[in-house]
Chain A
Amino acid sequence: SVHLEPDQSVRVPDGWRHVERVDGSEDVILTFALKQQRVDKLKNLVDQVSDPRSQQYGHYLSLAELSDLVGPSEETLGTVRNWLEKHGIWDCLTVLTGDFLQCRTQARNAEKLLPGAQFHRYVKGDLSVVRSGTPYSVSPQVAPHIDFVGGLHRFPSHRKVLNSTAAAG
């Protein structure tokens, strides 16, 4: 099998506490970032539409035109769907650009689909997340068709404003 994100940190960030291994029957949602087409063309197009010196400046795409440009190939869609269905995963949603697939399945199914993954629950204050503490992999047949699988490693993070807690009188 192939590791799509060998350099992704699996360290649990400060403040998060491990609670339990997730029961195999619990649902998880996996996000598959499907390989897009013509990304180089998209880059050239953005360079043109964003450069005030270009004749194409401001000639933006509609979402439908963007979908036609970068949407995944039939081969990618077919290979990934076959792979998911072989593992009994049918409950999937896509987006208008067709390049993300979000699928709901049981944790035990997800662990079979993504060898190496093991789902655990972590909490921080009122927040609770399910993540894998170990790296996942995918079969070599689908690896060329997926950029990464979301919902396994990255913990929620955001910038916090810096402030004094004092309130005005």
Chain B
Amino acid sequence: SKRFLQMLLPGPGRQREDSPAGGAARIFSKKTLSWRLLGEAYSSQLSVDEQRSVFRLAFRMWSEVTPLDFREDLTSPGATVDIKLGFGRGRHLGCPRVFDGSGQEFAHAWRLGDIHFDEDEHLTLPTSDRGISLLKVAVHEIGHVLGLPHTYRTGSVMQPNYTPQEPAFELDWSDRKAIQKLYGSCQGSFDTVFDWIHKERTQYGEVRVRFSTYFFRKSWYWLYENRNNRTRYGDPSRIQAGWRGIPAQGIDAFVHVWTWRRDERYFFKGHRYWRYDSDQDQALTQDQQGRSYPELISQGFPGIPSPLDAAYFDRRQQQIYFFKEALVFAFDVNRNRVQSSYPMRMTEAFPAVVPHNHPVRAIDAAYYSYAQGSLFLFKGDAYWRVLNHRARQDNARLPANGLLPKRPISGAWPDICDVHSSTLNM
């Protein structure tokens, strides 16, 4: 009876009605949700650590595509835990729905509430090719808790019937959009964004170039798969794990000086910068010219202030553009000095195409995209695209380096979502 009342009268942070019309979707109204595997309801088929690990991954998979995040809570009073999970058979855990034994029903969930798994089922780890994947069932039931109904759409995790887990089980595009319809898409600013160039030799000795797009925020980062319009499965990861030797958080800028003679990659933070060795996949302590790292920005780039807001390398002009506050500095890498006409106000160097539609100062990142052949300036959850050569050829009246009106970052690079910090090391 208590559970029935709980379903009708959810506590604070639990319920929000999206529409006054009948049948409004009810969803959680807070961003971080707590969960716990009940101590009195462990499965005897897997170790407790295995069960918790599977649930942690299941929650994280939803967190990677929504503005929600989930943390395991082992200490708070049970009544304050948002989602409780447990295993039972037949009449179980005070639940009014009775499990039917092995076969047919394998689990159920209460919207905005708890999840129960039928202990009479052979629930297995994701790596097993037998039984029913606990991960897939958990992801499905969490979908219900968050407010999703069943669907018969092929490929959806919310199909009512169980299908064996695929080798690469993930939430597909439609499941993402379904949950984002309830909770919105992920927003937020970034510290730096850049394309990382990989150079390879083919079997014929030709040099082939590939690039990967990275978004950095605080102490974590994502690889963005442009062809799939999403981040790499399993991201974000900690900067420390993927980029050895650079600061663990709060990167200000990244620059790749790439000319016929030079191939140098730099990370900037505070008053210092680091040079990164892509072959060894770690920051250099000393380069071939004898320069030690980290180095002061004022030493390596005379005339450039610090800390910086953003930076990028213009390959055509062979200049690094450094951004700080309302100013932009153009640094000639061949002469190793700031161009004489700089610094310039950002509004002057990159004039607004639509009046007053301009970041003006303190941008977060400057990103040159090889995929789109354009420069983007990021600030908050918006970006401004800089007119490139091609665009001006079509319309010469547009100002050189003009900024097109701002748009949301999540529109061009969707689904870059935070996860709870406790799950960053998964």
B partners with A: no
